[in-house]
């Protein structure tokens, strides 16, 4: 049975962001805050802003739930504990006590794409439409993990297609990117998988995908080149056969 973790992640993330903006002595007023409920905020002695979500603020219309497989979590956590010891750390010291389980959940989050089907996402939102010009979704944030070092690579993805009678929801394009990015990847394969998924599920006149990414395995280890950006591209249909169409796309994403 997968265990459900109902964390108010989005609200908390927003609040922490907000907390960064206020001066340390500011008491955030209880009323008039997004989320509706009353929120008591105060400072503790160490200068950390403590945000207390009171009973009423936890009632919300939308709640994002994170679901982790308990067996997988425990299996990974056990091994992470061993890794910590192998690295010469004391897994029982206070700061590391919850680290194995955090790493286990984090790894499952970062690889959630294995349980998602990009083609299904598109097929669930197909609409008849006569529009036959380029549809471009630019600057899609990309977070993936290199399969050689299991370190993140981060960047932007640009996706364009030319409809042939059908369009899909714009958010579906971003979700297809997410589906393939949230796996162990190489940038080259990721680029091609996004193109092929959209080509096969939507059957457009052509698909273009460009990814620009910074690989942390190149910055923090190995050659330690922190500014290197890797660009990959994949085209199909009209983007392959027509240099004009391809150039139009490349100009638009500059």
Q: Which residues are catalytic?
A: 146-149, 187, 215, 217
Which among 88-96, 146-154, 231-239, 242-250 is the span making contact with Zn ion, rule CB under 5 A? 146-154
Q: Which is nearer to Zn ion, 63 or 147 (CB)?
A: 147
Give min distance, CB of 222 to Zn ion, in A.
8
Question: What are the C-alpha distances in Å from 60 to residues 8, 45, 53, 56?
Answer: 10, 31, 12, 9
Q: Structure tokens of 67?
A: 């679901």
Give min distance, CB of 216 to Zn ion, in A.
8
Residues 96-135 that bind Zn ion (CB under 5 A): none
Give min distance, CB of 1 to Zn ion, in A.
35
Q: Which is nearer to Zn ion, 9 or 225 (CB)?
A: 225
Give min distance, CB of 218 to Zn ion, in A.
7
Residues 181-240 that bind Zn ion (CB under 5 A): 217
> Does 148 participate in binding Zn ion (rule CB under 5 A)?
yes
Q: Quick one: which of 8, 105, 123, 149 contacts Zn ion (CB under 5 A)? A: 149
Which among 63-71, 81-89, 125-133, 140-148 is the span making contact with Zn ion, rule CB under 5 A? 140-148
Question: What are the C-alpha distances in Å from 54 to residues 64, 94, 127, 173?
Answer: 18, 28, 43, 38
Residue nearest to Zn ion (CB): 217
Task: Report the alpha-carbon distance of residue 126 to residue 111 in Å, rounded.
Answer: 27
Q: Quick one: which of 122, 146, 207, 213 contacts Zn ion (CB under 5 A)? A: 146
Cβ–Cβ < 8 Å for 50, 43 = yes
Give min distance, CB of 8 to Zn ion, in A.
34
Residues that bind Zn ion (CB under 5 A): 146, 148-149, 217
């Amino acid at each position: 049975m997968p265990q459900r973790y109902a964390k108010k992640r989005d609200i908390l993330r927003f609040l922490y962001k907000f907390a960064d903006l206020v001066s340390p002595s500011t008491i955030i007023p209880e009323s008039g805050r997004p989320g509706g409920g009353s929120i008591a905020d105060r400072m503790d002695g160490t200068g950390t802003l403590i945000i207390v979500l009171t009973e009423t603020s936890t009632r919300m219309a939308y709640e994002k739930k994170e679901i982790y497989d308990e067996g997988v979590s425990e299996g990974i956590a056990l091994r992470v504990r061993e890794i910590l010891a192998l690295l010469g750390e004391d897994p029982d010291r206070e700061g590391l006590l919850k680290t194995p389980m955090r790493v286990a959940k984090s790894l499952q989050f970062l690889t959630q794409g294995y349980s998602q089907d990009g083609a299904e996402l598109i097929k669930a939102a197909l609409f008849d439409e006569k529009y036959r010009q380029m549809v471009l979704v630019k600057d899609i944030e990309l977070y993936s993990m290199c399969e050689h070092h299991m370190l993140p690579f981060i960047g932007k993805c640009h996706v364009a297609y030319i409809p042939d009678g059908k369009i899909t929801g714009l958010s579906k394009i971003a979700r297809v990117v997410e589906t393939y990015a949230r796996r162990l990847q190489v940038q080259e394969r990721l680029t091609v998988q996004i193109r092929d998924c959209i080509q096969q599920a939507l059957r457009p006149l052509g698909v273009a995908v460009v990814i620009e990414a910074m690989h942390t395995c190149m910055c923090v280890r190995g050659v330690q080149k922190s500014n290197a950006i890797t660009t990959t591209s994949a085209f199909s249909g009209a983007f392959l056969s027509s240099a004009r169409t391809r150039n139009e796309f490349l100009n638009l994403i500059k």
